Amino acid sequence: MDANKYSYRVIWSEEDQEFVGLCAEFPGLSWLAKDQVASLQGIVDLVKDSIADMEQNGEKNPGTYFAAPLFRPICGENNAGYAQASCFGGL
């Protein structure tokens, strides 16, 4: 799977005084950096390395959480007046 198709975010850590790059599909991975761009690039590179290791060891890598739309359009050719929301387990 292409590492660019996963869900990423960057947050500020008061404790570390650095930005933390995170990936939703790999919750055990993070990357600290002094700026947001470096933090994002670091976590993307780390996920790429993790995927390569998993593939080399015959492990299945996780799919993306948001591969399908969470909401269908309310208006449209086939959806006029119809809405649907999806929730993940435990919500």
pLDDT over 50 (residue 59): yes
Torsion angles phi and psi, residue 23, rounded to 5: -130, 125
Question: How many residues are recorded in the chain?
Answer: 91
Confidence class of residue 23 from pLDDT cuts 50, 70 and 90? Answer: very high
pLDDT in tens, 36-52: 999 999 999 999 999 99
